[in-house]
Chain A
Amino acid sequence: MRPVRRLFEGLWTIYRRELRAALREKGIVVNSIVIPLVLYPFLLWAVSTGIAFVMGQTEGFTSRVAVIGAGPLHRPFLRMLETNHKVEVREHLPLATALAALRAGELDAVVEILPAAEGGVVPGEFALRVTVDEAKERSRTARERLDRASERYRSEWLAREARARGVTAADWQGFSIRSRNVSSAREMGQFLLGLLLPMLFVIMVAVGCFYPAVDATAGERERNTWETTMTLAVPRFAVVAAKYLSVATFGGVAGILNVAAMTASMGMIFAPLFAEGGEEVQFRIPLAAVPVLLLGALLLALFVAAGMMIFASFARTFKEGQSMVTPFYLLILLPVMFLQVPGLEFSLALSFVPVVNVTMMVREALSGSFHWPQIGVTVGVSAALVLACLGLAARILAFEDVVMGSFGGSLGMFVKTRLLARRGRGAAGEGAR
């Protein structure tokens, strides 16, 4: 019992020391707190300002449309264009000039009014040819407006014809269609959060673990405090575990802080966008989701910290450590970024994939669904991976030259020469524990 107790006491002491030392480093604290607090609001403010700016630029811009071949019959159509569809009609231009102006960006569309096709000409009918420049946004908008206008004109025209032939308004209408979104503002908010937040979450935890992980291993070697630490009267494993836990703590806390700051600031962009539709979207993380979020932070931080520290434990300088950890970092981020497809179900199969399972778990929690089997598997798989990493770390520490920093290679080389070759050649270099 005593050795285990010693292990835990030693671990706790060193863990506390690590945290205290890091918190004293003003740079880190400032960055971890100030940056989310200022950066996200600023970014989102910049985006919403950009949107406001664009709105100002484009508001009321009418589409400049040249109409060719309009006669007295077509006045109602042109009037409709101008009053209802923000179109500025320009007439009396030859076709070639109009097309040239379209290409140069001086016009947004060219409409030719042509006589109707043969075969039972109905009085008052005509055909349209609409020419636009699909590469220009204004022109595309013009096309959309013209499409809507012609659609409306056509249906009004047909309705008039029907009425003239004795069809009643009710019969003509047939039935009305009304679409309605029945999800509440909260649910909409949760949906949007669920799209962005899980990915952000993983990124922030990874970023939050990155520097502490490299600093705790390679950084210490560079500062030459590694030896001091290694010669403490505590089991070596306790030292490593304490460092590991402190890195995981930082990663988890950073992830949560950043995500909270992001959520709090998101209202800035989305609220005005949705207010147009008369809805007010709320961004609140449902209370029931918070424990799952914390669990997710914990699992993710533990896994990411473990992986990063293993990669970085071979580095002798901070910069080397960074280069060594980056591949792992990308490995984590890539799947997350691409599995952000809405509608992807959190299946049992998916819950076996590390990192992705935590992301899905968080996303589901944000929309209020809790799939217990998948959550269980996620916890299990993550825990298993963490233990595996710790086991690997213990193996690594058995080799003195790695511990003392004179092993000049990377994780790959280590695995090749020490772990695999061991079977053939015997335990060369297995040193003090």
Chain B
Amino acid sequence: MSFDLAAVAALYRNEMRHLLRDRRTIVVSIFLPLAVMPIMLFSSHWLEQRRKARLETTTFAVAIDGSQAEMVRSLLVQAQRLRTARGEAFRFRETPVAEPLAALGEKRVALVLRGVTAAEARAAAGEEAARRELEADRRGEGGEEEEREAVLEGVPVVEVLFRADRDDSQAAATAMGEVLREVRSEGRFALLRSAGFPRDPATVLPVTRDNVATTGQVAGLALGRLVTALLLLFMLSGGAVVAIDSLAGEKERGTLETLLTSGARRQDIVAAKLLAIFSVALLIALIQVANLLIYVGFELIPVPAGFAAAVPPPVAVLLFFLYLPVTALVAAGLLLLSGYAKSYKEAQLNFFPVFLLGLLPALAPLLPGVSLRSAVVVVPIANAAVAAKEILVGVFDWPLLLVSWVVNAAAALLLARLATRALSNERLASPLAAEGERVPGPVAFQRQVLRNFAVLWGVLLVVNSNLPASTDIRLQLLVNLGVIFLGGTLAMVRIYHLEPAQVFALRPVPPAVWLAVAVGAPAGLLTGVGVFQLASLFVPVPREMLEALGEALLPEGLPFWQVVVFLCLAPGIVEELTFRGALLHGLRRRFHPVVLALVVGVVFGVFHTSLFRIAPTAFIGVLLAGVTLLSGSIFPAMVWHALNNLLGLAAARAGLPLESLEPPLLAAAAMALAAAFWILWRTRSVYPDLRGERRR
């Protein structure tokens, strides 16, 4: 793609001139945020102070009961004495109440201390503790966590009962724990001393701590977590105002048509508009950074020590370069949003989700333990955010910094190209698009199918996250497959007046196809395992997840025939009808056949929402789509799918490890798979009416 620089320059100058003369927009998009930021900073600081102060000065009301209440009281008295001797405040006060737990619920006390004997404690906690320990064993946890205090014979237990849904109760519980431990330590040290310990027990095994990080770097950690998100927030909201006006607004005013009929080329127009939005976004970002630095520099807001030292000039310059492609990406994304909207209002309505989606990756550095050297490096925006954090703590991973820069730049270019295409899309560029009452029909189905599947996905997620974890797997499957998938698909057939036989490709196939299925299904299963192994190199699976997955797939105590019906036949039929039926049919003209298979596969993968199952599931999805496209019928895919599940389950039941396979076995499986597809190719009767067959 070549650009006429003079034309781009003229267009750019025009854009900027037009923009800068719109005073109101400038005020709203640039200066208003300037006022917002200090308000945000001040308020959050003030609130934090107030909250801390409140907690530090409150005296917590405590209720005491239980058979050993007297002992608890004496402990508190000792604690008070200890604290007063050290000159510190003791912030607890006993409040006599009739029903302690009720009082806790009614907020009359913050805490209930119950003194019980060991026997009582064991009895009371028996059931719950047993359950907890069972859980812990199942998850294979061991001594890393805090020691569970042992309940010894004859040793009383102090139960600290609190409510985690209340700030004060939670704080009181933590403080009380500290206080009680202090008292106990004192007691123990007294025992040791009286037993002849030569020294003050408190001085045994001293530990001194040292830190090699500079205050600047420590501050950099705090800053690095949030800086990208903040900048992105301002760039998106400020840039959007310009971007939306730039294409959608011009469309409405009619000036876009004037541009499109002039001698300027589409790519020059897009380039100029992109540059304009980019300039604005960059300017906003710089202004906000300067704004922040002023407040920090003049210490108008208190910040952690070393904040100013966190960003020495060379680091600032590096960050600037790092953020350049991110700004371009934001600008391109906003332009794309504006380009595809038919009116100003529509663009505005679509902005909110785009805003959230753009902000989300910038929050990546908040996750503990994310480093640039991982799959994150290929995720635009998230990679820059994580890179910024690493730079600010003094880690300079140059090769990966370069990679993330390239990824962002490439993403920006891609979006810009799509924006150019939006300008050539006539329905949007010309005011002629006839918006009559749209009667849903097969053509509307093709246009809306992806959106409908997105809704289906949302529904699936919501329903599943609200089903209690202990729900019977059969019920879960019934809801997922029967209600959501099948119900959704049939609803679509009904609403869009589709022909079931066509949509579901219910056609007979020659016998040779079944041979291909018989060979291909096991081959595909094994090759899929290879794909899973490959994927886990980039996205390693935590052990717990693997176990959970395994459990979910192979519920205990279910008779085998039920396993076959619920886990093989039902998915094999319903999922095929949904994905290789409705979805494939709806998208058949939108993509070339190979891309179509990939898209259908990926969507299928995404519907199996756990991150680690996406890749192998997508792989099978692509295979099944290929089978359907080549044979023109859904039945082979159904049988293949059911067979795939059956073999996988049988292997699991028989204890064969299918988590990792030797390369020779994988190679053999891949070859068998290729053979199966060769048979399909030879006996093909291609799915009708695909793209690439010109309708004319």
A103 to B211, CA, bound (A): 10
Residues of A within 8 A of B203 (CB): 117
A122-B199, A134-B211 known; A190-B165 Cβ under 8 A: yes
Contacting residue for B209 out of A34, A44, A49, A130, CB 8 A? A130
Shortest distance between the CB of B375 and any CB in chain A (Å): 7
Shortest distance between the CB of B115 and any CB in chain A (Å): 8
B213 touches A150 (CB 8 A): no
Q: CB-nearest residue of chain A relative to B214?
A: A135
A104 to B333, CA, bound (A): 37
Report A251-271 residues with CB < 8 Å from chain B CB. Answer: 261, 264-268, 271
B51 touches A174 (CB 8 A): no
Q: Could you mark each residue 308-325 of chain A with 1 if its beta carbon is under 8 Å from any beta carbon of chain B, else 0?
A: 000000000011101110
A43-B360, A323-B28, A343-B168 known; A103-B75 Cβ under 8 A: no
Report B7-29 residues with CB < 8 Å from chain A CB. Answer: 24-25, 27-28
A174 touches B187 (CB 8 A): yes
Shortest distance between the CB of A329 and any CB in chain B (Å): 10
Contacting residue for A135 out of B143, B157, B394, B539, CB 8 A? B394
Report B337-377 residues with CB < 8 Å from chain A CB. Answer: 342, 344-346, 348-350, 352-353, 356-357, 360, 364, 367-371, 374-375
Q: CB-nearest residue of chain B relative to A204?
A: B352
B165 touches A188 (CB 8 A): yes
B455 touches A267 (CB 8 A): no
B458 touches A179 (CB 8 A): no
A135 touches B220 (CB 8 A): yes
A316 to B57, CA, bound (A): 55
A122 touches B204 (CB 8 A): yes
B212 touches A367 (CB 8 A): no
A187 touches B370 (CB 8 A): no
Residues of B within 8 A of A134 (CB): 211, 213, 217-218, 221
Binds B, one of A11-19, A155-163, A388-396: A155-163
Residues of A within 8 A of B468 (CB): 280
Contacting residue for B192 out of A52, A102, A158, CB 8 A? A158
Task: Answer yes or no: B469 CB below 8 A from chain A CBs.
Answer: yes
A132 touches B209 (CB 8 A): yes
A275 to B159, CA, bound (A): 23
Residues of A within 8 A of B167 (CB): 342-343
Report A116-138 residues with CB < 8 Å from chain B CB. Answer: 117, 119-120, 122, 125-138
Residues of B within 8 A of A38 (CB): 454-455, 457-458
Task: Answer yes or no: B93 CB below 8 A from chain A CBs.
Answer: no
Q: Could you mark each residue 174-217 of chain B with 1 if its beta carbon is under 8 Å from any beta carbon of chain A, else 0?
A: 00010011001001100110011111010111111111111001
A334 to B181, CA, bound (A): 42
Q: Could you mark each residue 111-145 of chain B with 1 if its beta carbon is under 8 Å from any beta carbon of chain A, else 0?
A: 01000001001000100000110010000001110
Q: CB-nearest residue of chain B relative to A105?
A: B395
Task: Answer yes or no: A84 CB below 8 A from chain B CBs.
Answer: yes
A39 to B168, CA, bound (A): 35
Q: CB-nearest residue of chain B relative to A143?
A: B209
Report A29-83 residues with CB < 8 Å from chain B CB. Answer: 30-31, 34-35, 37-47, 49-61, 83
Binds A, one of B39-47, B282-290, B409-417, B561-569: B39-47
Residues of A within 8 A of B231 (CB): none
Report B383-409 residues with CB < 8 Å from chain A CB. Answer: 393-395
Contacting residue for A268 out of B50, B173, B465, CB 8 A? B465
Residues of B within 8 A of A261 (CB): 462
Shortest distance between the CB of A83 and any CB in chain B (Å): 7
B187 touches A170 (CB 8 A): no
A232 to B471, CA, bound (A): 59
B367 touches A54 (CB 8 A): yes
Task: Answer yes or no: A182 CB below 8 A from chain B CBs.
Answer: yes
A337 to B47, CA, bound (A): 11
B212 touches A150 (CB 8 A): no
Task: Answer yes or no: B604 CB below 8 A from chain A CBs.
Answer: no
Q: CB-nearest residue of chain B relative to A175?
A: B156
Residues of B within 8 A of A215 (CB): 345
B209 touches A150 (CB 8 A): no
A177 touches B195 (CB 8 A): no
B205 touches A128 (CB 8 A): yes
B212 touches A52 (CB 8 A): no
A211 touches B348 (CB 8 A): yes
Task: Answer yes or no: A370 CB below 8 A from chain B CBs.
Answer: no
Shortest distance between the CB of B468 and any CB in chain A (Å): 7
Residues of A within 8 A of B209 (CB): 129-132, 143
Q: How many A residues are at the interface, by size bracket? A: 35 or more
A324 to B25, CA, bound (A): 9
A131-B210, A134-B218, A338-B44 known; A39-B369 Cβ under 8 A: no
A45 touches B364 (CB 8 A): no
Residues of B within 8 A of A49 (CB): 611
Binds A, one of B82-90, B479-487, B540-548: B540-548
Contacting residue for A177 out of B160, B162, B168, B196, CB 8 A? B160
B191 touches A171 (CB 8 A): yes
B206 touches A127 (CB 8 A): yes
A175-B156, A181-B164 known; A126-B465 Cβ under 8 A: no
B51 touches A137 (CB 8 A): no
A56 touches B155 (CB 8 A): no
A134 to B364, CA, bound (A): 20
Task: Answer yes or no: A326 CB below 8 A from chain B CBs.
Answer: yes
A125-B204, A135-B394, A152-B147 known; A57-B369 Cβ under 8 A: yes
Contacting residue for A55 out of B164, B205, B458, B542, CB 8 A? B542
Shortest distance between the CB of B293 and any CB in chain A (Å): 21
Task: Answer yes or no: B461 CB below 8 A from chain A CBs.
Answer: yes
Q: Could you mark each residue 190-204 of chain A with 1 if its beta carbon is under 8 Å from any beta carbon of chain B, else 0?
A: 110000000000000
Residues of A within 8 A of B458 (CB): 37-42
Task: Answer yes or no: A415 CB below 8 A from chain B CBs.
Answer: no
B455 touches A53 (CB 8 A): no
B165 touches A175 (CB 8 A): no
A127 touches B208 (CB 8 A): yes
A327 to B36, CA, bound (A): 10
Task: Answer yes or no: A97 CB below 8 A from chain B CBs.
Answer: no
Which one of A30, A127, A179 has the greatest number of beta carbons of chain B within 10 Å? A179
A157 touches B204 (CB 8 A): yes
A45 touches B461 (CB 8 A): yes
Name A residues whose Cβ lies closer than 8 Å to a Cβ of B: 26-28, 30-31, 34-35, 37-47, 49-61, 83-86, 99, 102-103, 105, 117, 119-120, 122, 125-138, 143, 145, 147-148, 150, 152-154, 157-158, 161-162, 165-167, 169-183, 187-188, 190-191, 207, 211, 215, 219, 261, 264-268, 271, 275, 278, 280, 283, 318-320, 322-324, 326-327, 330, 334, 337-339, 341-343, 367
Beyond the given pairs A122-B199, A183-B164, 4 more chain A to chain B contacts, judged by CB atoms under 8 angstroms and listed by A's residue number, are A50-B364, A125-B204, A165-B195, A341-B47
Name B residues whose Cβ lies closer than 8 Å to a Cβ of A: 24-25, 27-28, 32, 36, 39-40, 43-44, 47, 50-51, 54, 71, 75, 101, 104, 112, 118, 121, 125, 131-132, 135, 142-144, 146-147, 149-168, 173, 177, 180-181, 184, 187-188, 191-192, 195-199, 201, 203-214, 217-218, 220-221, 241, 245, 249, 342, 344-346, 348-350, 352-353, 356-357, 360, 364, 367-371, 374-375, 393-395, 438, 451, 454-455, 457-459, 461-462, 465-466, 468-469, 539-545, 609-612
16 A-B contacts (beta carbon < 8 Å): A38-B454, A44-B461, A52-B612, A57-B374, A99-B212, A128-B206, A134-B217, A165-B197, A173-B155, A177-B177, A177-B184, A188-B165, A190-B165, A264-B465, A265-B465, A278-B132
